Amino acid sequence: MLPSFETQRLIVRPRGIGDLNACLAMDRDPAVLRYIDVPWRSVAEHRQFVVNRITRAYPAGLGYWSVALKLVPAAFVMLKSYALEREEYLATSFRPSAERESRNP
């Protein structure tokens, strides 16, 4: 099981299936995905992609995390993942929420 971390302002925790709807909502925001070429082409593909990311087994030390403000833990600030892609390299992704971006131009 992956650890959770806390700072004075942030909570970094492993993503769980309970985060699915929030992940899908964030990914539907055009401002969040403006520069990202997503691998899904339909709502069903998108949902399956996120479910797979949340439920798959990752090698030791790698995983899929949510970063939230401690004052509003249900609201994502960003998504962060470390995943071994194609068994060749480590892929790191970072997607700040559009709301977070609008507060930090």
pLDDT, tens only, 13-25: 888 998 899 889 8
The pLDDT of residue 102: 44
Q: Note the pLDDT of residue 40.
A: 92
Q: Please count the structural domains in the chain.
A: 1
Structural domain of 75? 5-103
Percent of the chain with pLDDT over 90: 16
pLDDT beneath 70: ranges in the chain: 76-105
pLDDT of residue 100: 46
Q: Match 């969040």 to its residue by tokens.
A: 32
Calpha distance 54→65 (Å, rounded): 9
Q: Give the model's pLDDT for residue 25.
A: 86
Return the sign of the alpha-carbon dihedral for residues 62, 21, 97, 32: positive
Q: What is the CATH number of the domain that holds 43?
A: 3.40.630.30
Per-residue model confidence (pLDDT) at position 46: 95
In three-state secondary structure terms, 53 is helix
Q: What does the alpha-carbon distance between residue 92 and residue 82 come to, in Å, rounded to a whole number? A: 5
